[in-house]
């Protein structure tokens, strides 16, 4: 079964689709998601609108950290 994650990064209005098995990340167009019947009609538009109002939506992801550089993530420069 393929594994995909749809995500957005604070400060960036785009929404991305990561194909974890394929190792790719591409920008997502809500119309394409609906056309592919990959989500309920209007879901991605509603999620994008919620982001604009500062909401964070999480489902079936148990770890996500944004960093400014790849070396930050690799060196674990994160504090608790």
Q: Which residue has the tokens 């056309």?
A: 35
Q: Is 18 helix (H, G, I), strand (E, B) or coil?
A: strand
End-to-end CA distance of the chain: 34
Q: How far is CA 74 from the centre of its chain?
A: 20
pLDDT-derived band at 79 (thresholds 50, 70, 90) equals: low
Token pair in block for residue 44? 């991605």
Q: How far apart are CA 71 and CA 80, in angstroms?
A: 18
Query: Full-prediction pTM beyond 0.85?
Result: no
Task: Write out pLDDT tens, residues 45-64.
Answer: 898 899 999 998 888 888 88
* Domain ranges for the chain: 4-74
């Amino acid at each position: 079964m393929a594994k995909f994650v749809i995500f957005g990064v604070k400060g960036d209005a785009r929404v991305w689709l990561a194909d974890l098995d394929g190792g790719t990340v591409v920008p997502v167009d809500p119309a394409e998601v609906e056309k592919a019947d990959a989500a309920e009609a209007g879901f991605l538009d509603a999620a994008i609108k919620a982001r604009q109002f500062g909401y964070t939506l999480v489902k079936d992801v148990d770890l996500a950290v944004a960093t400014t550089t790849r070396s930050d993530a690799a060196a674990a420069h994160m504090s608790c």
